Homo-oligomer: A and B are copies of this chain.
Amino acid sequence: MPYSAEQAKILTQALPYIQQYAGKTIVIKYGGHAMVDEDLKKSVMGDVVLLRYVGMSPILVHGGGPEITEVMKKVGKEPSFVNGLRVTDSETMEIVEMVLAGKTNKSLVSLINNQGGRAVGLSGKDANLIVAEKSEPGGVDIGYVGQVAKINPGILATLVQEGYIPVISSVAIGPNGESFNMNADHIAGELVGAVGAVKLVMMTDVKGIYDHKDDPSTLRSVLTVSEAQEMIRAGKIDKGMIPKVEACVMALKGGVERAHIIDGSEPHSLLMEVFTDKGIGTMIEAG
């Protein structure tokens, strides 16, 4: 069979998935290693453009940890963390917002548009998309760190309807118009219900959830919510993975049937998740 015939056959194998998700919204949390390697970044954004062109409505959410730290160091500010959360004084918040909304966000927008998509970058301030309230985890004041108080998804509906791909940075607007630093995983999880998405894909640096921390050979393909919560309680899940698992749980409450944690550093892992039956990574489902 000549090459192009093989290609054509593979295209036809994508049809059931294209049909299944036609006109449906998919929330993709984009982060980790895939976000700092320029080639991977371009490739993932190309995959997002493909999803849009075959009829799905992807919405991208991103944070940007390493880039923030890098800029803070440039201006001579030492990052500090409490329980994995960045202590965010007013000066730090300014840097966080500049990096997320001005640098990371626009570079993703640019990569999508340059590959034929039409992205519009938003922060949670635009159109009051994400309204925050101050978060004091464990009663400790760590500054402008917030949690989602309200989502106003109108602007997303407007953009998606017109064929745009929204790219959302994890900054929110507070009750007095101030900026809040948000956990991007949580925003992705909350958005699912607000926009009526049918799928949540959390892109990260590891293959998924392992039964034994750090041992990829013990990857769990499927996990119920209660199993996941038990693993968190038992300390079997990495700190960094916990908000991803929490986002999946929020998404399941928000109406999706399955949420996915996949390895963004594997080329086209997003497409593999969407266009195959067995998918990749760890799927979290109700139960």
A residues bordering B, Cβ < 8 Å?
4-16, 18-19, 22, 46-47, 49-50, 53-55, 71, 74-76, 94, 97-103, 105-106, 109-111, 113-116, 118-123, 125-128, 154-155, 158-159, 162, 164, 171, 173, 176-179, 266-268, 271-272, 275-276, 280
Contacts and interface: CB of A to CB of B under 8 A. Distances in A.
18 contacts: A5-B266, A8-B272, A12-B47, A15-B53, A15-B115, A16-B116, A18-B53, A54-B55, A101-B102, A101-B106, A106-B123, A109-B125, A109-B126, A114-B176, A120-B126, A120-B155, A121-B123, A154-B162
A275 B127 contact: no
How many identical subunits does the complex contain?
A: 6
A276 B8 CA distance: 9
A107 to B, nearest CB: 8
A260 to B, nearest CB: 14
B55 A11 contact: no
Contacts of A15: 46, 49-50, 53, 115-116
Nearest to A124: B106
Contact of A98 (B46, B50, B102, B276): B102
B50 A53 contact: no
Contact of A55 (B47, B53, B125, B275): B53
